[in-house]
């Protein structure tokens, strides 16, 4: 106990909370920028006299459950057929390739200019497939769709005219959610993504900050890609990397939050974790790669600051892990500076570190669902808990990026689930890679359960309530993953990961 009574513990605790509060202030800044610029809907400065040729690029890897749905939706695009080229960029190692081949033949029979480009050497993974496909693209405009997306027929009609302005390099549409209410996890994921796509992307784009291509459901100008140096595969988020390089070259991007392109959310915890690990690690890799160039550039200081907050935001997961180790000592040995000092220090920290998150996601739900946003309020505590529970998975990704650790490139399994088709996804051979992370999460869950129970027994009810999301979050992420390890008697798992050696 003497070790814990050291003021050093309390100092570290306050510093970590201040760091988390800093990112909370950034969220509030995003909310402010969104509210300030939300009504500034972009409009095309001029229009094409005739629809230009568009190449639709469909990067695919082991997607047997969804590739037919993707091809059908592309065939239904409301755009002149003679002005469409469809590229299926297939790196699959299973029967997906034959499904793609059959689908391309169906498109050709209907008169589409469609081709299957199959690689057996997956160098660069998705970035490598896009780089390879772009060499054969006939169109100046490249509409990229991941396999789990189902574009609305009018998406090209609503977006293509923005490219009549020669300064526009990329158009991003807002993701929708095909299976938002499939289960609790998809519902919370949808709220996470809504905050990013509706608030962050809109606020950044319309306030003149950097904003990024989301990897899919967007259209690139081919000459913009070439001018920025092309697709590079030294990070796991090639979309973010290319976006910053292109904007540093002076290209303008447009985010159309009013144009929705629906997609399928991961329905199981392991798939969600693998997706978050890849996105988190990739963002830190991009941070290391482009942040020095941003600060050397001539963009305004406020733009540099916001880009820094954006690119470093996932360091908050490291802070959250540090906080996990500091909470218990602080509960027992925090210096007593008197009630006034306690509230002066803790109330602002609590507001910026916690309340800011709630305001952020409530604002996004109110913007997207003005008549039913209040129905999402009960899910906010679970959203906070899931964010805490994901801290171990994502902090591991941050550390791997910092120390240049080459980890497995894990695809996110998709099962063809939407609100109309309730596929029995548990029968699929596609599974996310198993790790020991759920065991660590389970141990954290038991530890924080002890901390919460002890606080309640001691009569510190405010602490017990505020700390309750910690055991809930860790138990949720761990038990959801560990349940998948139980023998099911079904087909053996198929390895769906490749080692990124780039």
Which residue of the set 90, 91, 241, 268 is catalytic? 91
Distance CA 388, CA 471 (A): 9
Which residue of the set 90, 161, 239, 268 is catalytic? 239
3-state secondary structure (DSSP) of residue 325: helix
User: What own/partner pairs with CB < 8 Å and gap ≥ 24 does 363-372 have?
Assistant: 363/31, 363/34, 363/35, 363/199, 364/191, 364/194, 364/195, 364/198, 364/199, 365/191, 365/194, 367/34, 367/38, 367/198, 367/199, 368/194, 368/198
Is residue 418 among the annotated active site residues? no
Is residue 241 among the annotated active site residues? no
Distance CA 13, CA 9 (A): 6
| b/e burial code for range 99-115 (CB count within 10 A of at least 16 → b) | bbeebbeebeeeebbbe
SS (H, E, C) 394-436: HHHHHHHHHCCCCCEEECCCCCCCCCCCCCCHHHCCECCCCCC
Phi, psi of 221, deg, nearest 5? -85, 125
Give the helix/strand (H/E) hosting 254.
strand 252-263
Structure tokens at 486: 């139980």
Residues labelled as active-site residues = 91, 239
């Amino acid at each position: 106990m003497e070790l814990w009574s050291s003021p050093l513990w309390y100092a570290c605790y306050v510093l970590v909370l201040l760091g988390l509060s800093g990112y909370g202030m950034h969220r509030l800044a995003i909310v402010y920028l969104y509210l300030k610029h939300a009504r500034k809907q972009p409009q095309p400065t001029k229009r094409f006299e005739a629809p230009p040729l568009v190449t639709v690029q469909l990067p695919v890897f082991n997607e047997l459950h969804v590739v037919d749905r993707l091809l059908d939706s592309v065939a239904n695009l409301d755009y002149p057929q003679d002005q469409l080229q469809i590229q299926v960029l297939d790196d699959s190692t299973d029967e997906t390739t034959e499904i793609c081949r059959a689908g391309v033949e169906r498109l050709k029979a209907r008169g589409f200019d469609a081709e299957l480009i199959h690689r057996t050497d997956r160098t660069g993974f998705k970035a490598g497939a896009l780089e390879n496909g772009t060499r054969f693209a006939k169109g100046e405009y490249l509409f990229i769709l991941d396999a789990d997306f189902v574009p609305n027929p009018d998406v090209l009609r609503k977006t293509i005219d923005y490219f009549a302005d020669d300064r526009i390099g990329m158009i991003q549409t807002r993701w929708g959610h095909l299976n938002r209410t499939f289960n609790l996890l998809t519902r919370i994921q949808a709220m996470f993504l809504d905050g990013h796509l509706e608030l962050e992307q809109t606020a950044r784009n319309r306030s003149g900050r950097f904003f990024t291509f989301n990897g899919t459901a967007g259209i690139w100008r081919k000459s913009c890609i070439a001018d920025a140096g092309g697709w590079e595969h030294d990070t796991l988020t090639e979309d973010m990397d290319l976006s910053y390089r292109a904007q540093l070259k002076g290209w303008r991007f447009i985010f159309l939050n009013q144009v929705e392109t629906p997609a399928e959310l991961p329905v199981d915890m392991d798939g969600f974790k693998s997706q978050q690990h890849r996105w988190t690690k990739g963002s830190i890799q991009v941070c290391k790669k482009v942040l020095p160039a941003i600060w050397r550039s001539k963009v305004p200081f406020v733009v540099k600051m916001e880009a820094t907050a954006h690119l470093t935001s996932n360091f908050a997961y490291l802070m959250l892990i540090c906080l996990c180790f500091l909470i218990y000592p602080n509960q027992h040995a925090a210096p007593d500076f008197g009630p006034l000092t306690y509230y002066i220090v803790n109330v602002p920290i609590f507001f910026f570190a916690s309340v800011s998150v709630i305001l952020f996601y409530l604002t996004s739900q109110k913007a997207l669902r003005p008549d039913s946003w209040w129905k999402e309020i009960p899910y906010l505590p679970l959203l906070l808990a899931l964010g805490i529970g994901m801290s171990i998975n994502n902090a591991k990704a941050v550390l791997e990026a910092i120390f240049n650790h080459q980890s497995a490139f894990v695809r996110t399994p998709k099962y063809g689930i939407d609100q109309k088709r309730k596929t029995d996804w548990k029968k699929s051979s596609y599974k996310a890679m198993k790790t020991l992370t759920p065991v660590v999460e389970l141990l954290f869950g038991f530890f924080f359960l002890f901390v919460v129970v002890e606080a309640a027994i001691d009569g510190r009810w405010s602490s017990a309530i505020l700390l309750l999301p910690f055991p809930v979050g860790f138990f949720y992420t761990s038990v959801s993953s560990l349940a998948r390890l139980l023998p099911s008697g079904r087909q053996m798992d198929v390895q769906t990961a490749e080692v990124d050696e780039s």
